[in-house]
């Protein structure tokens, strides 16, 4: 018997080899908290594990009638560089991820969409954070004025979908939700599963 069982297309671990002995919050603000857990590792040795807890986030693949995707350019303070990505952001308390996707799309681009489809979710950095990103496909778009939050300086640009996929595979787009979303969208399109 192996540690993993094959169920469909997933490998599922049957039991958790880690044991949490205690936990404390070492930092918290409106967007995130940092938890420090005292643990017993899988080998039985004691240790500390830091976990960043974040509300669910969203990424929006907004495609216009010309098969162009809305990308945004913005300075990412954490990395100290400009980033090209799909509209992304966090969900707020009491807000569904679909509502958050609509709000983020409108705030960052001024766009609203009449058609929405959830393409799935990803664990953004599962060795560090609890954050789960929900990726949405948005079409039937209408342009309005953006509603950027204070401190944001975001520039909207339209890029042909094939070019955007190449940007993700060539390393021009490196933000994880954007890369995963673009590649998933590309595979769905290749397999004829995207629909209209």
Closest-CA residue to 129 (of 47, 23, 19, 34): 34
Q: Which H or E run includes 101?
A: helix 97-109
pLDDT in tens, 28-43: 999 899 999 999 999 9
pLDDT in tens, 64-76: 999 999 999 999 9
Q: What percent of the chain has pLDDT over 70?
A: 89
pLDDT in tens, 125-155: 999 999 999 999 999 999 987 766 666 688 9
- Residue ranges of domains in the chain, CATH in brackets: 4-54 (no CATH), 57-190 (3.90.79.10)
Q: What would the mean pLDDT of 93-105 be, rounded to a whole number?
A: 96
pLDDT in tens, 1-20: 344 454 454 556 668 899 99
The beta-carbon contacts of 39-42 under 8 Å, at least 24 apart in sequence, are: 42/17, 42/18
């Amino acid at each position: 018997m192996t540690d993993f069982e094959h169920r469909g297309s997933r490998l599922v671990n049957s039991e958790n080899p880690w044991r949490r002995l205690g936990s404390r919050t070492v930092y918290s603000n409106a967007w995130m908290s940092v938890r420090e857990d005292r643990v017993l590792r899988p080998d039985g040795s004691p240790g500390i594990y830091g976990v960043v807890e974040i509300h669910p986030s969203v990424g929006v693949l907004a495609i216009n009638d010309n098969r162009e995707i809305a990308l945004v350019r913005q300075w990412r303070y954490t990395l100290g560089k400009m980033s090209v990505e799909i509209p992304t952001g966090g969900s707020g308390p009491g807000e569904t991820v679909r509502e958050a996707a609509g709000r983020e799309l409108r705030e960052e681009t001024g766009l609203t969409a009449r058609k929405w489809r959830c393409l799935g979710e990803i664990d953004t950095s599962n060795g560090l954070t609890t954050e789960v990103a929900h990726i949405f496909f948005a079409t039937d778009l209408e342009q309005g004025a953006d509603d950027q939050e204070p401190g944001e300086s975001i520039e909207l640009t339209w890029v042909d979908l094939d070019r955007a996929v190449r940007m993700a595979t060539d390393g021009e787009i490196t933000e994880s939700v954007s890369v995963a979303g673009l590649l998933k969208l590309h595979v769905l399109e290749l397999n004829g599963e995207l629909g209209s």
